[in-house]
Amino acid sequence: MIEKLIEKIAEKNCPVVVGLDPMLSYIPDFIRNAAYEKHGKTLEGAAEAVLEYNKKILDATADLIPAIKPQIAMYEQFGIPGLKAYIETVKMAHEKGLIVIGDIKRGDIGSTSAAYATAHIGKMKIEDVETPVFDEDIVTVNPYLGIDGVKPFVDVCKANDRGIFVLVKTSNPSSVDFQDKVIVSEKGNRRLFEEVALKVEEWGAEVRHGNYSDVGAVTGATWPKAGEELRALMPHTFFLVPGYGAQGGKGEDLAGFFDKDGAGAIVNSSRGIICAYKSEAYAKYGAENFADASRQAVLDMKEDLVSHIGK
C-alpha cells in the first residue's frame, strides 16, 4: 500500500496529505446553521455540518492530492453520528481515487490490537462472512506496548495490502517528555524515539515492496534535525510528517525527511488547508468560498515542498 501511495504522490507531484480534522469552529456559519436547522444542535447536526464541509473541501482539492488523513477523534467526539460521517468521508475519498490514512493512533495488546487492525484495515469475519468496517488504507499506530501491539497490524497489512505509520517522534512540544529520553544500550546510548525507529525498520522487513515497507513512521515536521537523523536510521521506512504550517513546520526545514530522489515522505497539513479562509493570506476568498481557499493553500504548500526537496 505504501508503494501505491508513493506512486500517487509521484503522479500528482504533490507530497501533501490533507488532514481532514474538522473542528466545529472551522466550519462556516452557513453550513453549520443549515445542518442545525435540519437536526438541531445535536450530534447529528454537528456530524452533518462536518460531512458537508469535508465534501466541499474534497471536491475542491481531490485532483491535486494523493491522500487525505482524517483524524478520527474529531469524528468520535460526535459519537455515532460523527463516526458515520467518518466512514462516509473515507468512502467519498475512495470514490475520488484518494488514499485514506486514518489517524487513529490505536495500540493495545494481542487480540485487542488484532480487533482494531481488522476493523480499520482488514475485514471483519462474522462466522463465514467477511465485511469491511472502517476501511481505511493506512492507519497510525502507537508503539508504547511493544511488538505485541504492532504485530497484529503488520499481519493485517500483509494479508490485505494495507499500511501503518507507527508513532516515532511526534510533532508536539511534550514529545520530549518520554520520546527524547536517553536509553542505555550496549551499542551506545540513544534516545527512545531512535530505539522505536530501529524496531519499526525491523518490523517492516517482512512487508517491504521496492525500497519502502508497509510499516511507516510518524516523524513531526517540528523536529527537522530528528527527521534528518531518522531518514538515515530508517532507509526503508516511509514517513508521515505532521506539524507543517499551523504547528510551525516549513518546506525549507523538511528536505531532510525526504530521500535523495525526493521521495520517502508525505507531509500533512490540517488547519492550514481546511481552515485556510480564516488566515490572513487567504482571507480574500471569504467564508462562502472556503473550499477555493483550501485549494489555493494546497497549491502553495505543494510549491513550498517541491521547491525544497530532492535537491
Residues forming the active site: 105
Q: How many CB atoms lie within 10 A of CB 109?
A: 12
Contact between 189 and a second copy per CB under 8 A: yes
Q: Which of 129, 186, 188, 232 binds a second copy (CB under 8 A)?
A: 129
Residue number, 197 or 255, with CB nearest to a second copy: 197
Tell me how many residues contact a second copy (CB under 8 A): 71
Q: C-alpha cell of 102?
A: 486514518
Contact between 173 and a second copy per CB under 8 A: yes
Nearest C-alpha neighbor of 199 from the set 159, 241, 230 = 230
Residue number, 58 or 200, with CB nearest to a second copy: 200
Window 8-47: residues binding a second copy (CB under 8 A): 21, 23-24, 32, 36, 40-43, 45-46
User: By three-state DSSP, how is residue 143 classified?
Assistant: coil
User: Rounded CA gap, 272 and 284, in Å?
Assistant: 15
Window 278-307: residues binding a second copy (CB under 8 A): none
Sign of CA dihedral 183, 185, 191, 193: negative
User: Rounded CA gap, 235 and 242, in Å?
Assistant: 19
Q: Which of 54, 61, 89, 170 binds a second copy (CB under 8 A)?
A: 170
Taking the complex as a whole, the smallest distance from the CB of residue 289 to a second copy amounts, in Å, to: 24
Nearest C-alpha neighbor of 143 from the set 249, 70, 219 = 219
Q: What is the DSSP annotation of 193-251?
A: HHHHHHHHHHHGGGGEETTEESEEEEE-TT-HHHHHHHHHH-TT--EEE--BGGGSB-G
Residue number, 6 or 92, with CB nearest to a second copy: 92
Q: How much helix, strand and coil, in percent to the nearest 5, is found in the chain?
A: 55, 20, 30
Window 226-265: residues binding a second copy (CB under 8 A): none
Q: C-alpha cell of 204?
A: 517492516
Taking the complex as a whole, the smallest distance from the CB of residue 281 to a second copy amounts, in Å, to: 22
Q: Between 63 and 102, how does the x/- string for binding to a second copy read (CB under 8 A)?
A: --------x-xx-xxxxx--xx--x---------------
Residue number, 54 or 171, with CB nearest to a second copy: 171
Q: Which of 10, 34, 64, 145 binds a second copy (CB under 8 A)?
A: 145
Taking the complex as a whole, the smallest distance from the CB of residue 282 to a second copy amounts, in Å, to: 21
